[in-house]
Amino acid sequence: MTELVASEPAPFIPDNLTIPQFFFDSDHTLKATRPQGVPFFIEDATGRGIDSREVRKRVDGLANGLSRKWDIKQDEVVCLYAPNHVDYAVVFWALHRLGAISTNSNPAYTLDELSHQLRLTKATTIIVHSQFLKTASEACKEVGLPAERIVIIDQATFEAPHTTVEQLIQDGLNHNTNFVERKLGEGEARTKIAFLCLSSGTTGPPKAVAIPHYSVIANTLQIRAHNYTVETKANVPTDEWRFRPGDVITGVLPFFHIFGLILNVHVMLYSGMSVVITPKFGWPTFLESVRRHKITHLLVVPPMIVLLCKHPATKDYEAELKNIRLCFSGAAPLSPELASQLEKVLPNASLGQGYGMTETSTAVSMTPVLERVGKPGSAGIAVPGVRFKIVKEDGTLAKLGERGELVVNSPSNALRYWDNPKATAETFLEDGWVRTGDEVEFDTEGNIYVVDRLKELIKVRGFQVAPAELEGHLLSHPDVADVCIVPVPDDFSGELPLAYIVLHPPAAVRAASSTAESDALKAELSKYVSDVKVQYKWLKGGVEFIDAVPKNPSGKLLRRVLRERARAERAAAEKAKATL
């Protein structure tokens, strides 16, 4: 097999529109007709619905307000540091009206992590939820951004020097338009950057992935074509479509993450659905939202499915869960065993999975639309317009049934890493191909199975953790002589980081003196990470002391050796526990 090509070609993808021009100002054969009275967004806490006309009005008002206050220009970068909010998409679409770039940030980021993102992207303004204002203010001081360039997203008014999104919207709506929206030339949407999304790499701090307007538009249409086109050709009744106009879907996946950003916001809205905006995930409040808003579609990650299958509160919502029509999981593999349990919890739902990454913006494979439940362990088939190659270690192409690294060519692929030519050259290849760093194999029907990660990234609740980033930080601790971070399996999070640490002699003597001293030092090293890293990067897999980190003759960490050791130790511990 030299190449696997999607069974459907890519649909027509306009390359001269920005994202808001595509969504609000143009038409397409794949655009769903939104029924009268069906809102774009539903605010989870209040039930308030916001229709497309109101959203568009707020987008235009905010664009004008930002232009009037700061003259936000073409290609200027603005950071959005907030949880999901009804104005979250309003903010980045307003920036796109101005030709500016949005870099969406994890609101759980620490001072160091947010400062890194601001420096990396050279953001000139930050829009923040008031709950995270303290960290944002400290980060702005650290990178030299004035306090008046901090905008509050969640309140109507705020004390000076800060202004609010609402104030900017009203100012923009009450004055004549202060900017001329740029009309893109033919092909320009392919290179005009819309988002700088952070993605963990194997060599240190997160990198910014440059995603153009065309990529978001392309993936929206690819996923629509994967579903709507196939259903139409197969004469599937409209009542049985996977995504029906007027359906209601959860909006709890973080919109700063590529999965939530494209699939949850852009694809679902383009499919004529309503998105219930939930700022923070909690259980069983999530189930209560399903009941309150009569939600029909769940967009989730595997840890949420674990709760669906195992949390005792789930039984109280059996009636509501029978009304779920589709549960789609992404960001991390869903095991066949968990998928089997989920079928029992959601007896009337189609169950889907997909595969994608920030660098492919986002999904390049999905469960076939005519299959209620996909093949066990499969991430589906290529969506329209996608081509796959499997490259073996020796550089040759794998045959059917052989494993190797997945390399993807898709209209949705991102362009490059921002201001990082070395990393770009390693991942973004010629002619639009992207190396995924994932070891995969295919079956005869074109289903993709992710076997392992070659890039050594750890997936915690769908978030990427780069071992090198944590190792670099731990090596700055005075007691640490060497370190290797590996993943250990976890039922809820998928994987957790475990640190194998070589101590300097004085600390090693201290740790060996007693169990209490050893435990205290492990706790200190764990805290050394948790003090400066976002929670999913914490060493919840544990800390273990070893005499030496295994390395090859050139000095490269033999991470696989310690990963296998960790798995064997955990398996032995579980076996011993079961025999008690």
If you average pLDDT over every residue of the chain, what do you get?
A: 92
Query: Lowest-confidence range among 13-17, 140-144, 303-307?
Result: 303-307
Angle (CA) 49-229-370 rounded to 5° is 90
Q: Does residue 272 lie within any of the structural domains?
A: yes
Residue 163, SS3? strand
Note whether 407 and 425 are same-domain residues.
yes
Q: How many CA atoms lie within 13 A of 286 on its CB side?
A: 21
pLDDT at 477: 92
Final residue of a domain: which of 429, 453, 477?
453
Note whether 75 and 106 are same-domain residues.
yes
Query: Lowest-confidence range among 168-182, 440-454, 526-540?
Result: 440-454
167 versus 8: the higher-pLDDT residue is: 167
105 versus 303: the higher-pLDDT residue is: 105
Q: Report the first-to-last Cα separation within the chain, whole angstroms.
A: 50
pLDDT of residue 2 exceeding 60: yes
Q: Does residue 46 lie within any of the structural domains?
A: no
Confidence of residue 374 (pLDDT cuts 50, 70, 90): confident
Query: Quick one: residue 538, left, alpha or beta (phi over 0 = left, psi -120 to 50 = alpha)?
Result: beta
Question: What is the CATH number for 481?
Answer: 3.30.300.30
Return the closest-CA partner of residue 352 out of 333, 379, 332, 331.
Answer: 379
What is the C-alpha to C-alpha distance for residues 10 and 485, in angstroms, rounded to an integer?
A: 40
Q: Does residue 239 lie within any of the structural domains?
A: yes
Note whether 220 and 162 are same-domain residues.
no
Question: Could you give the dihedral angle defined by the CA atoms of residues 19, 21, 22 and 23, in that order, rounded to the nearest 10 degrees?
Answer: 90
The model's pLDDT over 245-297, given as tens digits with 9 standing for 90+, comes to: 999 999 999 999 999 999 999 999 999 999 999 999 988 999 999 999 999 99
Confidence of residue 420 (pLDDT cuts 50, 70, 90): very high
Task: Annotate 23-82 with DSSP letters as a single string.
Answer: HHS---TT---PPTT--SEEETTT--EE-HHHHHHHHHHHHHHHHHHH---TT-EEEEE-
449 versus 85: the higher-pLDDT residue is: 85
Query: Quick one: residue 361, left, alpha or beta (phi over 0 = left, psi -120 to 50 = alpha)?
Result: left
Confidence of residue 182 (pLDDT cuts 50, 70, 90): very high
Residue 560, SS3? helix
The model's pLDDT over 476-495, given as tens digits with 9 standing for 90+, comes to: 899 998 888 999 988 788 89
Final residue of a domain: which of 453, 468, 500?
453
Q: Does residue 25 lie within any of the structural domains?
A: no
Instruction: Give Cα 89 distance to the centre of its chain.
Output: 15
Note whether 553 and 476 are same-domain residues.
yes
Q: Does residue 228 lie within any of the structural domains?
A: yes
Q: Specify whether the CB–CB gap between 478 and 214 falls below 8 A.
A: no
Count of the separate structural domains present in the chain: 3
What is the C-alpha to C-alpha distance for residues 565 and 548, in angstroms, rounded to an integer?
A: 14
3-state helix/strand/coil string of 262-291: HHHHHHHHHCCCEEEECCCCCCCHHHHHHH
pLDDT of residue 204 exceeding 70: no
pLDDT at 235: 93
Section 316-342 average pLDDT: 87
pLDDT at 293: 97
The sign of the CA dihedral 529, 131, 65, 39 is positive
Give rounded-to-5 percent helix, strand, coil for the chain.
40, 25, 40
Tokens of 3: 């190449």
Return the closest-CA partner of residue 537 out of 474, 580, 475, 443.
Answer: 474
Note whether 304 and 356 are same-domain residues.
yes
The model's pLDDT over 164-175, given as tens digits with 9 standing for 90+, comes to: 999 999 999 999
Residue 5: count of CB within 10 angstroms of its CB? 13
The model's pLDDT over 60-100, given as tens digits with 9 standing for 90+, comes to: 999 999 999 999 999 999 999 999 999 999 999 999 999 99
Query: Lowest-confidence range among 188-192, 217-221, 309-313, 330-334?
Result: 330-334
pLDDT at 98: 98
What is the C-alpha to C-alpha distance for residues 137 and 29, in angstroms, rounded to an integer?
A: 46
Residue 428, SS3? strand
Confidence of residue 40 (pLDDT cuts 50, 70, 90): very high
Amino acid code (one letter) for 298: L
pLDDT at 427: 94
* pLDDT over 70 percentage in the chain: 97
Instruction: Mention every residue, 6+ apart, whose C-beta is less than 8 A from residue 154.
Output: 82, 85, 129, 130, 131
Beta-sheet pairing, 248-251 with 381-382: unpaired
pLDDT of residue 456 exceeding 90: no
Section 210-234 average pLDDT: 95
**Residue whose pair of structure tokens reads 């740790």 in the numeric block:** 511
pLDDT of residue 354 exceeding 70: yes
The model's pLDDT over 242-253, given as tens digits with 9 standing for 90+, comes to: 999 999 999 999
Buried b (16+ CB within 10 A) or exposed e, 56-95: bebbbbbbbbbbbbbebeeebbbbbbbbbbbbbbbbbbbb
Q: Does residue 304 lie within any of the structural domains?
A: yes
Question: What is the CATH number for 307?
Answer: 3.40.50.12780
pLDDT at 493: 85
pLDDT of residue 555 exceeding 60: no
Rounded alpha-carbon distances, angstroms, from residue 494 to 287, 303, 518: 22, 7, 27
Instruction: Mention every residue, 6+ apart, whose C-beta is less than 8 A from residue 268.
Output: 243, 249, 275, 297, 299
Q: Does residue 18 lie within any of the structural domains?
A: no
pLDDT of residue 201 exceeding 60: no
Return the closest-CA partner of residue 566 out of 547, 548, 543.
Answer: 543
Confidence of residue 564 (pLDDT cuts 50, 70, 90): confident
Note whether 441 and 471 are same-domain residues.
no
pLDDT at 492: 82
pLDDT at 203: 55
* pLDDT over 90 percentage in the chain: 72
Confidence of residue 415 (pLDDT cuts 50, 70, 90): very high
Section 566-578 average pLDDT: 80
Section 499-527 average pLDDT: 94
Confidence of residue 454 (pLDDT cuts 50, 70, 90): low
3-state helix/strand/coil string of 306-361: HHHHHCHHHHHHHHHHCCCCEEEECCCCCCHHHHHHHHHHCCCCEEEEEEECHHHC
Q: Does residue 230 lie within any of the structural domains?
A: yes
Note whether 411 and 266 are same-domain residues.
yes
Q: Specify whether the CB–CB gap between 148 and 140 falls below 8 A.
A: no
Instruction: Give Cα 443 distance to the centre of its chain.
Output: 27
Note whether 493 and 445 are same-domain residues.
no
Domain span at residue 473? 458-579
Tokens of 228: 């709507």
Q: Specify whether the CB–CB gap between 257 and 80 falls below 8 A.
A: no
Note whether 448 and 397 are same-domain residues.
yes
Final residue of a domain: which of 165, 183, 201?
183
Section 296-312 average pLDDT: 88
Note whether 66 and 164 are same-domain residues.
yes
Note whether 159 and 239 are same-domain residues.
no
Q: How many CA atoms lie within 13 A of 255 on its CB side?
A: 30
**Residue whose pair of structure tokens reads 């731990």 in the numeric block:** 474
Note whether 140 and 227 are same-domain residues.
no
pLDDT at 386: 98
The values of phi and psi at residue 279, to 5°, are -70, -35
Bridge partners, 104 (sequence order) = 80
pLDDT at 20: 98
Section 537-551 average pLDDT: 91
Question: What is the CATH number for 146?
Answer: 3.40.50.980
